[in-house]
Structure 1
Amino acid sequence: MSNQDHTESLRDAERRLQAAQLASDVDALTELIDDEAWFTGPDGGLYSKQDDLSAHQTGHQVLSRVEEEELRVLATEHIGVTWFLGTLEGAVGGRPMSARMRYTRTWTRSDRMGWKIIAAHAMFLTNEPSSTSDDTNGH
């Protein structure tokens, strides 16, 4: 399999992940996330695979929209990285949420298991320029 083939198979895995997040498809998420995976959330907290699955199982996180603006993919035979830029809408903890986000996901691949996320980082994006004020609250 060429690197181009690995890139396309990883792109497909990333899009399956997006669909699984939107549907809260815990079975698909279980398949796509490595048991040892850790995520850095936009709040800076570290979350395990079980934390992510639980958020979907309990309805703590429900997405109604995942709209990809850009997807960059880098893949070799066993390691890949995806950079997702897009808009997510839904509810977290029962509170409405709409955000433009960037996700960086590191994937591992084996012939037996396919692509699985091993690490990820998410951040909120704003269209506002960075503030240069001396506000002590950081706003």
Structure 2
Amino acid sequence: MTGTLLNELYEAERRLQKAQLGGDVEELDRLLDERLVFTGPPDGRLHTEAKQLDLHNHRSRTQVMTKVAEEDLTVVVSGTTGVTCFLGTLEGTFDGEPFAGRLRYTRTWVHTGEYGWRVLAAHASEA
């Protein structure tokens, strides 16, 4: 079962990247847990309502991704908890202003029978 969950988590991470790049709000809604918390740029703050903020930013086109290029991906599964460590380059616009950077994301995922893998917590930093 762990091998299957590991493969499914690789797939879920890649679906997340594709949804971010395409602004696919429906897919993001499926992949992000309601309790999602996020810590990271630009100010290192903890965002406790991160799912709603992320969905809003994509839906309103406040955030538009033009590049999500994975350099490295490490995936670990223990039971129904998983962690993905993404290293890559992101480019796009936020509130009309261009951004670009090489970032590392560490995401904690939970697996349920109803939803499969969903992101529960995420942290990003410049790499």
Q: Counterpart in 1 of 2:104?
A: 102
Instruction: State the aligned residue count.
Output: 124
Q: Counterpart in 2 of 1:134?
A: none
Residue 29 (structure 1) shift? 0.3
Distance in 2 of aligned mates of 1:26 and 1:112? 19
Q: Counterpart in 2 of 1:30?
A: 29
Q: Counterpart in 2 of 1:72?
A: 74
Distance in 2 of aligned mates of 1:46 and 1:35? 15
Distance in 2 of aligned mates of 1:68 and 1:89? 12
Task: Could you tell me which runs of 5 or more consecutive residues in structure 1 were left unpaired when the two chains were aligned.
Answer: 126-139
Task: Could you tell me which runs of 5 or more consecutive residues in structure 2 were left unpaired when the two chains were aligned.
Answer: none
Distance in 1 of aligned mates of 2:109 and 2:20? 17
Q: Counterpart in 1 of 2:4?
A: 5
TM-score, with structure 2 as normaliser: 0.94
TM-score, with structure 1 as normaliser: 0.86
4+ aligned runs moved over 6 Å, structure 1: none
Q: Is the strand fraction higher in 1 or 2? A: 2
Q: What is the RMSD computed on CA atoms of the aligned residues?
A: 0.9
Distance in 2 of aligned mates of 1:69 and 1:78? 26
Residue 111 (structure 1) shift? 1.7
Q: Which letter does structure 2 place at the counterpart of 1:112?
A: E
Q: Percent identity?
A: 48
